[in-house]
Structure 1
Amino acid sequence: MSSSSPIPSAAATPASAAAATASIKNLPVNLFASVMGLAGLTSAWRGATHMFGASDAIANGIGVVTVLVFIAMAAGYLAKWSRFPQVVRAEFTHPVAGNFFGTVTIAVLLLSSVVAPWSVTAQQLLWTVGAIATLILSYIVVARVMQGQMAGNNVVPAWLIPGVASLDIAVTGATMPMAWAPQVNLIALAIGTIVAIVFFTMIFSRLVHGDPLPTAMIPSLMVMIAPFEVGFLAYTNVTHQVDMFSALLFWFGMFMTLVVGVRVFRPSVTFAPSWWGISFPLAALSNAALKYASVNGSTPLMILAGLILAFLTVAIAVLFVRTLHSLFSGKLLSA
């Protein structure tokens, strides 16, 4: 007796269904956070070459990957912008998603540091473009918030990204030779510091008094440590010293890492592109720990810096592999 039951085909699998609906229209702007994380990892391994004697090839290899990922992301999002401008416009004007455009300008700023050993001209060009774009975005975001009528549930950790973006101007621009660069760094440090303080307070209040964050946004809690660790790097780069105030920033950032880390790193929080939101805050923490340890010369601090760098490296490697799998299976760009 022959069976008339249909034979399952590849076309019926979830992976093939996702691939069928994949479109550049669904490329999330927050995926630029991958460039931020990789650039931060590059800087951290460059710091490790001085502290631990690590090979330059590690940092240079990660740097090359960072540049390639940025090119791919820039090409992809420009294609999305040209084909679906209304979708990009809706993202930019959204009270939550709009903040993730800060990942684009931060990526450009951090890329200037990545290419610095290879081309001073490219470094200065990228930093100038990134600084201008970041200051414009900071103005837009703050002006938008001050219009009022903002729903409480829209006050989320992602709001900190534009503030942190301004701080990154000072992080990456402290060595710029242009006569106007020092004042731009001070302007950026002023804007980033105050915006980060105000937004951090608002977000903290929302987390205490408001509804719990949706599961998909749990990884963004790690952004709560960024103002302190990026602030440490920006402040020390501009002042050229690690003093008590910068130490307070570093240690409170460590404290916040422990507080939010137990909420983020849980099996119940499934993988999504938003997970890249953990990479840059951790990279900032790693770079800050390496710098703090190098100045203090304490063995426990050097061990701590090494452990943070190891955790950062493993975390980004896992995110990178999971993202590639999601891309080639069609899930990353599926509706």
Structure 2
Amino acid sequence: MSFWQRLAYFPAAFFGMTMGLGGLTLAVITLKNHQTWLFDQNWLAPVAVGLALITLALFVGLLTLYGIKALKHPQAWLAELNHPLKLFFVPTLTISGLLVSKILLEFDWMLASFWVWLFAAILHLLLTIWVFYHWLHLEHFKIEQANPAWFIPIVGNIVVPLAGVAHASAEVNWFFFSVGLFFWPILFAVLFYRIVFHPALMPKMLPTLFIFIAPPAIGFVSYMTLQSPLHLSLFGMTLYSLALFMLLLMLASLPKFQKLPFALSWWAYTFPIAAFAMASLAMHRATLDEGYFWLAAIMVILLALYCLKLLAMTFRAMKQQKLCQPDD
């Protein structure tokens, strides 16, 4: 099968890479603002720039390939948008764009950040409506198909205010935040019921369980971003505590994950961990408790090492032509 033929099977799940690397980049950028003997700006600043360039280059490259797929293989692209499983990975594209916008904002590229944010926010809203339309009006969904990837279009709305506070009114940002926050617990109840009372998730979908960490973690970061002046409320503490519990639950389940064969879904581990690191850094800013800072630092180091491993495994799988196949 030629490259152009395989492009028809290029999945939107590839954007999980830019979500993970984008989250890692933002965590490192935040980390470098804290001066310690171990985390000095002299070496963290170049690392942050390097990660930002890698994330931007990867995002542009993936966006180009996905755009070519949409143009050359429109039927395959439309099939993905209507697939009961693959549909929920399409918003990883827009979430990646929102993270890229935040990265550009951190480097004072205000105009570029605005246009990327505007494109990603509008497109994500359309995708969210598209997903809800499928849930409300189509009958091909079965409870066994439900999995934590269903959180992706919801969580993306919570990501919007990260850069949105610099580009839009408070009303716009609270609109997106409210949509994500309202539907997160509803979906959690549905997914928890499915996991407990129905057959186990497919092995390649098990890594998506880590997504349970993301809504409360990135929700806390977004909520603190929307606060002016900075104030740690009981609601914020609740969000962070839920994220911490979900992290502990996933760590307790690590032996189950280690037995799985590599798949693109492994990138689902990365963004939730990055979101929790960012949440811990936000807790440190609010409380000045050094414990939160060192917890975040440990998570960032482990995540960086794991991203290197995943990049190597992903490129190896691409070289062996194990990705972009009809069953992806």
Determine the C-alpha separation between the residues in 2 that align with 1:218 and 1:248: 26
Q: Which amino acid aligns with 2:193?
A: S
Q: Structure 1 residues 26, 264: closer, same or farther in 2, change over 3 A?
A: farther
Deviation of 1:243 after TM superposition, in Å, equals 2.1
Deviation of 1:307 after TM superposition, in Å, equals 1.1
Deviation of 1:147 after TM superposition, in Å, equals 2.4
Deviation of 1:148 after TM superposition, in Å, equals 5.8
Q: Structure 1 residues 191, 325: closer, same or farther in 2, change over 3 A?
A: same
> For each residue in 1:107-136, what CA deviation from the matched residue of structure 2 results, as whole angstroms up to 9, or x when unmatched?
111110112215210001111111111111
Q: Tell me which moved more, 205-214 or 317-326.
A: 317-326
Helix, strand or coil: the match of 2:158? helix
**Is 1:93 the equivalent of 2:94?**
no
Deviation of 1:143 after TM superposition, in Å, equals 2.3
Determine the C-alpha separation between the residues in 2 that align with 1:135 and 1:94: 19
Determine the C-alpha separation between the residues in 1 that align with 2:4 and 2:120: 34
**Is 1:136 the equivalent of 2:97?**
no
Partner of 1:26: 9
Q: Structure 1 residues 139, 72: closer, same or farther in 2, change over 3 A?
A: same
Determine the C-alpha separation between the residues in 2 that align with 1:175 and 1:244: 26
Partner of 1:127: 117
Structure 1 segments unaligned to the other structure (5+ residues) = 1-17
Kept in 2: contact 1:286–1:305 (CA 8 A): yes
Q: Tell me which moved more, 243-252 or 145-154.
A: 145-154
Partner of 2:40: 53
Q: Structure 1 residues 215, 21: closer, same or farther in 2, change over 3 A?
A: farther
> For each residue in 1:237-271, what CA deviation from the matched residue of structure 2 results, as whole angstroms up to 9, or x when unmatched?
11233322112111211111121334356331111
Determine the C-alpha separation between the residues in 2 that align with 1:129 and 1:184: 14
Partner of 2:165: 174
Deviation of 1:313 after TM superposition, in Å, equals 1.1
**Is 1:261 the equivalent of 2:251?**
yes
**Is 1:77 the equivalent of 2:66?**
yes
Q: Which amino acid aligns with 2:171?
A: Q
Partner of 1:271: 262
Partner of 1:153: 144
Determine the C-alpha separation between the residues in 2 that align with 1:267 and 1:108: 30
Partner of 1:11: none
Kept in 1: contact 2:102–2:162 (CA 8 A): no
Determine the C-alpha separation between the residues in 2 that align with 1:202 and 1:264: 23
Kept in 1: contact 2:277–2:295 (CA 8 A): no
Q: Structure 1 residues 218, 142: closer, same or farther in 2, change over 3 A?
A: same
Structure 2 segments unaligned to the other structure (5+ residues) = none
Partner of 1:63: 52
Deviation of 1:300 after TM superposition, in Å, equals 2.2
Q: Structure 1 residues 53, 248: closer, same or farther in 2, change over 3 A?
A: farther
**Is 1:165 the equivalent of 2:156?**
yes
Determine the C-alpha separation between the residues in 1 that align with 2:323 and 2:73: 17
How high is the TM-score relative to the length of structure 1? 0.89
Deviation of 1:77 after TM superposition, in Å, equals 0.9
Q: Tell me which moved more, 57-66 or 164-173.
A: 164-173
Q: CA RMSD in A?
A: 1.8
Determine the C-alpha separation between the residues in 2 that align with 1:260 and 1:219: 10
Kept in 2: contact 1:22–1:332 (CA 8 A): no
> For each residue in 1:210-250, what CA deviation from the matched residue of structure 2 results, as whole angstroms up to 9, or x when unmatched?
11001000111111111100110111111233322112111
Determine the C-alpha separation between the residues in 2 that align with 1:270 and 1:172: 36
Instruction: Determine which of 190, 195, 202 is the counterpart of 2:190.
Output: 202
Q: Tell me which moved more, 208-217 or 321-330.
A: 321-330
Determine the C-alpha separation between the residues in 1 that align with 2:138 and 2:320: 42
Kept in 1: contact 2:22–2:103 (CA 8 A): yes
Q: Tell me which moved more, 99-108 or 292-301.
A: 292-301
Kept in 1: contact 2:224–2:282 (CA 8 A): no
Identity level (%):
26
Partner of 1:251: 241
**Is 1:186 the equivalent of 2:188?**
no
List structure 1 segments (4+ residues) > 4 angstroms apart after TM superposition. Answer: 18-22
**Is 1:216 the equivalent of 2:204?**
yes
Q: Which amino acid aligns with 1:195?
A: F
**How many equivalent residue pairs?**
315
Kept in 2: contact 1:218–1:264 (CA 8 A): no
**Is 1:280 the equivalent of 2:271?**
yes
Ranked by relative contact order (alpha carbons within 8 Å, sequence separation 6 or more), the top structure is 1
Determine the C-alpha separation between the residues in 2 that align with 1:91 and 1:148: 15
How high is the TM-score relative to the length of structure 2? 0.91
Q: Tell me which moved more, 260-269 or 214-223.
A: 260-269
Q: Highest Rg: 1 or 2?
A: 1
Kept in 1: contact 2:117–2:163 (CA 8 A): yes
Q: Which amino acid aligns with 1:46?
A: I
